Amino acid sequence: MRAPIVYLVAAVLLGATGLWVPALAQDNAAQEMARRQAMLARLPADAAKRWFGLATTPAPGPARPIGDYTKGCVAGAAQLPADGPTWQVMRPSRNRGWGHPLLIGFLQRVAATLPAAGWPGLLVGDIGQPRGGPMLTGHASHQVGLDADIWLTPMPERRLTAAERDNMSATDVVNANGSDVDPRVWRPEHRKLLEAFARAPEVERIFVNPAIKRALCREVGGDRPWLERIRPWWGHNYHFHIRLACPRNDTECHDQKPPPPGDGCGADLDWWFTQETKYLTPREPAIGPRLSEMPAGCAALARAP
Ligand SMILES: [Zn+2]
């Protein structure tokens, strides 16, 4: 019986990174609302997802990430403005443009450098909820204000309307069977975009589809240490996911173990293209923790006015 071993591997991986297939990331506003209502109808009154998913304002006080990327919250979050010279925030109706001020400033700083690399600017997907925490739809992580999704679509020259931002689809850069990037879509500028983020010392990990990692392993020349931070994961063919390390000296924020040393282009990447892996699609946990099961500090933060 192979199956139990296979599922154990999936559970270990899920526990390690807290991500699953982000099939919801590119859902339009109507799809998102339907999923949200369905989840609210099923959740117990004290589910952490309910409290954090319904919070519409940040918790006051100094910026404080609390807990793990996959089980935590954030006080004093800041909102990325909907528009900047080199970014536009997508899916505004979700109200997920909130994060630790370090992340919000970081995104703006890196975005400003991108036109020089041939990328006109960022289309920013989900960052986090006003108080972080688990979400009613999508994402196991994005809970402490240090995770952000960036679309693999370059920012258009014009400002998108709110309706366009809520409904247009991102660009899938992976080919139909998942074996590699789609050469009709994948550009050198995608590589430069990922490199700009992966070289930043604040970045802990970046998650991409295995086919994107494969393309980077092939295309990147001699100076490769930044590839170590780019990790393959299910999905992530329409967007990539940036995770910042916990702020230095912050004792309430729990860092992840660093990725294994090396560029990650060997056998561990090959594993992602095996038949076995294709059946390991992780599933979204249905209900998630109760408020009382969240890290100390998060329950009070969820209920604060
Ligand atoms: Zn993400």
Q: Cα of 235 to ligand 1 centre, how many Å?
A: 10
Q: Average pLDDT for residues 6-35, to the nearest whole number?
A: 58
pLDDT, position 16: 43
Q: What pTM value is reported for the model?
A: 0.90
Distance, in Å, from the CA atom of 108 to the CA atom of 111, rounded to the nearest integer, reads 5
Q: Cα of 148 to ligand 1 centre, how many Å?
A: 6
Q: Cα of 19 to ligand 1 centre, how many Å?
A: 7
The C-alpha angle 125, 283, 41, rounded to 5 degrees, equals 80
Give Cα 215 to chain centroid, integer Å: 20
What is the pLDDT confidence band of residue 138, given thresholds at 50, 70 and 90? confident
Q: Cα of 71 to ligand 1 centre, how many Å?
A: 14
Q: Cα of 108 to ligand 1 centre, how many Å?
A: 18
pLDDT in tens, 163-205: 999 999 999 999 999 999 999 999 999 999 999 999 999 999 9
Q: Cα of 149 to ligand 1 centre, how many Å?
A: 5
Q: What is the CATH number of domain 3-303?
A: 3.30.1380.10
Please list all protein residues whose beta carbon sits less than 5 angstroms from ligand 1, which is an ion: 149, 241
Q: Cα of 1 to ligand 1 centre, how many Å?
A: 33
- Percentage of residues in the chain having pLDDT higher than 70: 90
Give me the helices (H) in 121-241, please. 162-167, 188-198, 210-219
Q: Is the pLDDT of residue 21 over 50?
A: no
